Amino acid sequence: MENKKTFEVLDHENIQANSVVSFPQGRTFKIGQLLERVNFFFRQLTIPELPERFSKEGLSKLPIYATTKGFALEDWNTKGVEAEILDLESGGWKKGKVRMRVVLEFCPDELETIETNNHLENNSLDDIRKTIS
């Protein structure tokens, strides 16, 4: 069985918000605070440029400023905007909201291995519960 290293999204809004990321230059940040600022810059600097960039690439214009629909620029990055997606499994359209956010992913250098304790394998489930608690 081959163990592959994979990147996993860090949950910067809930569980891992107060976890700390440290960079080689000696800078450390709480994950939640780092992503809060990055998403603020994304909202202020990147999202407003998307319609023009889409147009230059020959794509249809992304509805960034659709005030008639009741959403503002920051909604793309915060609460989301109304949209529909075609669900390939059901073959139908689903109404909901989409949002664009910057996420932080992490891939550990070393794979974590679960060590098994031989004497626990031969014991009853009650013995294992006692050991864990």
DSSP the chain: -------EE--TTTTTTT-EEE-TTS-EEEHHHHHHHHHHHIIIIIGGGHHHHHHHTTPPPP----GGGT--GGGGTTT-EEEEEEETTTTEEEEEEE------EE--SS---PPP-HHHHTS-HHHHHHHH-
What is the domain range of residue 109?
Answer: 8-62+102-132
Q: Is residue 75 part of a domain?
A: no
Q: Is residue 92 part of a domain?
A: no
What pLDDT, on a 0 to 100 scale, did the predictor assign at position 72?
72
Q: Is residue 38 part of a domain?
A: yes
Tens digits of residue pLDDT in 83-107? 899 999 888 999 999 998 999 999 9
Structure-model confidence comparison of residues 108 and 61, the more confident one: 108
Q: Is residue 54 part of a domain?
A: yes
Number of domains within the chain: 1
pTM of the model: 0.65
Tens digits of residue pLDDT in 20-76? 999 998 899 999 999 999 999 998 888 888 878 888 888 887 776 555 555 577 788
Q: Is residue 124 part of a domain?
A: yes
